[in-house]
Amino acid sequence: MARTLTLDEWALEEFSAPVPSRATLMRYAKNGMIYPLPVKAGRCWRVEASARFIGMAEKPEISKDLDPRLMRILEDGTST
């Protein structure tokens, strides 16, 4: 296995200032937005030194029979 870093250490190398908050980094790790995927070792997320932030891999499927108001919010973020 390659050398691993904590999320905070990895973020300093991956992002320019300002670095995302710890809560945001943990959300990235939990949602698979970092490749190769981070591993939780005890209470700490560990990331390979060569890992990269990839963001959302694909958009979620939205059912066509949802309420039109909800569809509008999901598609473009407007509330009315």
Model pLDDT, residue 61: 76
pLDDT tens per residue, range 38-51: 999 999 999 999 99
pLDDT tens per residue, range 7-50: 999 999 999 889 999 999 999 998 889 999 999 999 999 999 99
Alpha-carbon dihedral angle through residues 5, 47, 29, 35, given to the nearest 10 degrees: 140
Can you give the pTM of this predicted structure? 0.67
Name the CATH superfamily housing domain 1-80.
Excisionase (Xis) protein (1.10.1660.20)
Q: State yes or no: cis peptide before 20, omega within 30 of 0.
A: no
The domain ranges of the chain are 1-80
Angle at 50 between CA 48 and CA 52, to 5 degrees: 95
Reduced to 3 states, what is the DSSP secondary structure of residue 40?
strand
CA distance 80 to 69: 7
Tokens, residue 76: 């473009």
